[in-house]
Amino acid sequence: MIAVKYGRLERERKFLLAGVPDLPSGAEEIYIVDTYFQNTRLRLRETRTPGGEAAFKLTFKHQLSSDQHWINSFSIDAGEARLLRSRLDGAELRKTRWRWAEENDRMLCVDIFDGALRGLCVLEVEAMSDEHLQSFQPAMPVATEITSDILFSGGHLAVHGRPI
């Protein structure tokens, strides 16, 4: 059962980048630590902007199709985040996200991974409509589209590491 009242539809495509691209000057920098809890579809996300305080969200993501997910998220405090991490087995991944808005109501993000995934760069595009999502053409060097590739999902990367 999906809690429609408290969730949102995410339309998203992902692309493996050939390297770290040039980023727009107005891109927002966000440092992210994602913890994927074993045997669940739950993710704890800690975000921090330069000079900012940490924020925590617990998210349930339900896949509807290769490029659509239903997401339920809610904010929690640092103590609740510590409690979840101490009580549930989880795998972490760390990345710096650069985010900016584009025409046609699209939001773009470049994730540059740290730790064991260092060097991995992924472009994500979210759009409000299927038409705007499917018409998107990346302006940066792309190795391949990975939207449908489960090996590049956050949970899989956190547990199994780099697939290539």
pLDDT digits (tens, 9 = 90+) for 7-17: 899 999 999 99
Average pLDDT, integer, range 35-51:
95
Q: Tell me, what amino acid is at 59?
A: T
Measured CA to CA, the distance from residue 141 to residue 120 in angstroms comes to: 13
Domain count, the chain: 1
CATH number of residue 34's parent domain: 2.40.320.10
pLDDT band at 135 (very low <50, low <70, confident <90, very high): very high
- Burial classification of residue 130, based on how many CB atoms lie within 10 Å of its CB (0-12 exposed, 13-18 middle, 19 or more buried): exposed
Q: Tell me, what amino acid is at 49?
A: T
Instruction: Provide the 10 A C-beta neighbour count for residue 77.
Output: 11
pLDDT one-digit tens code per residue, 75-106: 999 999 999 999 999 999 999 999 999 987 89
The answer to whether residue 157 scores a pLDDT higher than 60 is yes
Average pLDDT, integer, range 126-144:
94
The answer to whether residue 67 scores a pLDDT higher than 70 is yes
Measured CA to CA, the distance from residue 152 to residue 120 in angstroms comes to: 10
Measured CA to CA, the distance from residue 16 to residue 5 in angstroms comes to: 33
Q: For residue 41, give its domain range.
A: 4-160
Q: What residues have CB less than 8 Å from 131, skipping those under 6 apart?
A: none
The answer to whether residue 2 scores a pLDDT higher than 70 is no
pTM of the model: 0.92
Q: Tell me, what amino acid is at 47?
A: T
Which of 4-13, 116-125, 137-146 has the weakest average pLDDT?
Answer: 4-13
Q: Where are the alpha helices (DSSP H) in 7-164?
A: 78-87, 130-134, 154-160
The answer to whether residue 151 scores a pLDDT higher than 70 is yes
